[in-house]
Chains A and B, each alone.
Chain A
């Protein structure tokens, strides 16, 4: 048996724990740098504030409808997420943290359990201990547990936030209800292609012949199909490490100064390299992007990107940063005011398992150096050790004008209680 536990409107829920005045109110949380809406309360969804809405365009709308708009507070969300995940580990040892607000659970040897009851206990404990509301979907396979979760979320009154698919009748009913574009792992383009073929629901998808799916799609979709049929084919933990890591940000202003942009790129590259090391991977490719402000129609527009292929995979900040800065110098055009840049590392391979090269090899000194830098930065926080091409004064130049306090991670920010 598998379960998918999903926190409802997670970022909004975290804010509400420490500011209960936001309960029942429309709330929207902005992305890094206060760019666009990335989390909405049910009330804000009902007002039709779109996901991803750039806030400068929707400011007036939010004011008119009294929507509380907040900057994202990742230290808070991260801590609350860890609490939720460790509570889940009290229910089963097999937990796959799928994202900051979602986890798959596997139950081996629980056949005599009443899963509806067990799911309700999980939900209650998380709500009571952390204040975060969740939905629990349970089923014999991972993909079906995702479907069950959608039902629990969609019908809170009927399900009380917990839904178990434990019979063939329930499985078929659920799949007939679920539209093809909402099936986990079926992207926008594939959904369009399948719909054109007359495959409109998850159930229709399971009726396709295996051979057709394997031939025209891939083994991934075939596994998904088996999973939806109730034959467990997708394992827990299969998707642990990311396929690409990106650090992309808007600048606080627009810049036409190459030195400034080089510094930003070096910082983004350092952040990507650090994340690579954290998940014990290296990358074969680096993508660098740079673009002007597309909302300023009168300004000269330019956007460019470059992909660098590396001779051997690396996670060294020195290498990635050097290559990324070289690339951005090639993209940069004089006279253009740039607003946004990004570094993406791709072609990720695990550190302990990649193809060695005959003639190219990485500088062996980098590995211990990176270990030392990571160790120091871990100990002293705030990335105290940086490369010379990064600005030492500049920490994150992030716009966070509506940031809530770090209630759980900074002693000066804990809640004040009047009595």
Chain B
């Protein structure tokens, strides 16, 4: 996320490092003197937890290994945020359990069946048939990468 000259507009937010709740305590002190004008406008600091985890009971993390989804921004070693409570739908990226292994792919529901689409030309789509042992484990909501 490097901002090069004016090519990308980046808005920066202060991350919350104190706690996952991110409440801010404004203390305007004792009544002597002018009260802080900010008191009436206090808001909670941003929290990544709240931003990335909409349903904490159903959220799990996983680590990516492999190249087949680089087109969708999923690189080796990225951290995935998975929400099991979301309904898998056409076009969503999901963690699936296919024939004894976990994999992550884009779901495609077409007239001729369910497909798992990679986002890298060197990989081919996989059609799910009756022979496959297949479970959609959860829908990926966010990717967290280290730069």
Point out residues on A near B: beta carbons under 8 Å: 20-21, 83, 86-87, 125, 128-131, 407-408, 411, 414-419
Contacts and interface: CB of A to CB of B under 8 A. Distances in A.
A128 B57 CA distance: 11
A417 B60 contact: no
B102 A129 contact: no
13 contacts: A83-B57, A128-B85, A129-B85, A130-B57, A130-B84, A131-B84, A411-B61, A417-B80, A417-B95, A417-B104, A418-B102, A419-B69, A419-B103
Nearest to B58: A129
B135 A419 contact: no
B62 A417 contact: yes
B61 A418 contact: no
B78 to A, nearest CB: 10
B101 interface: yes
Given A128-B85, A129-B85, A419 B104 contact: yes
Given A87-B57, A417-B63, 7 more contacts: A83-B57, A130-B84, A414-B62, A415-B63, A415-B102, A419-B65, A419-B104
Given A20-B97, A128-B84, A129-B85, A419 B60 contact: no
B61 A414 contact: yes
Contacts of B102: 415-418
Interface of B: 55, 57-58, 60-69, 74, 79-80, 84-85, 95, 97, 100-105, 118, 135, 137
A21 B84 contact: no
B83 to A, nearest CB: 9
Contacts of A419: 64-69, 74, 103-105, 118
A407 B64 CA distance: 14
Contacts of B68: 419
Contacts of B84: 128-131
B55 A129 contact: yes
Contacts of B104: 417, 419
A130 B85 CA distance: 9
A407 B61 CA distance: 8
Contacts, number: 65
A411 B118 CA distance: 26
A130 B118 CA distance: 26
A176 to B, nearest CB: 39
B49 to A, nearest CB: 14
A411 B61 CA distance: 8
Contacts of A418: 65-66, 101-103
A182 B7 CA distance: 72
Contacts of B61: 408, 411, 414
A211 B146 CA distance: 72
Contact of B63 (A87, A125, A128, A416): A416
A83 B53 CA distance: 14
A86 B85 CA distance: 14
* Shortest 3 CB-CB contacts between residues of A and residues of B: A129-B58, A419-B66, A419-B68
Nearest to B119: A419
A87 B84 CA distance: 13
Given A407-B60, A408-B60, A417 B85 contact: no
B62 A415 contact: yes
B57 A129 contact: yes
Contacts of A21: 100
Contacts of A131: 84, 137
B54 to A, nearest CB: 12
B135 A20 contact: yes
Contacts of B97: 20
A132 to B, nearest CB: 11
Nearest to A131: B84
Contacts of B95: 417
A414 B59 CA distance: 12
A416 B118 CA distance: 17
Contacts of A416: 62-63, 65, 102
A313 B137 CA distance: 50
A298 B103 CA distance: 53
B93 to A, nearest CB: 10
A290 to B, nearest CB: 43
Tell me which of B57, B74, B85 has the highest count of chain A C-beta atoms within 10 A of its own C-beta.
B57
Nearest to A85: B57
B55 to A, nearest CB: 7
Contacts of A130: 57-58, 84
B39 to A, nearest CB: 31
Contacts of B100: 21
A417 B55 contact: no
Contacts of A128: 58, 84-85
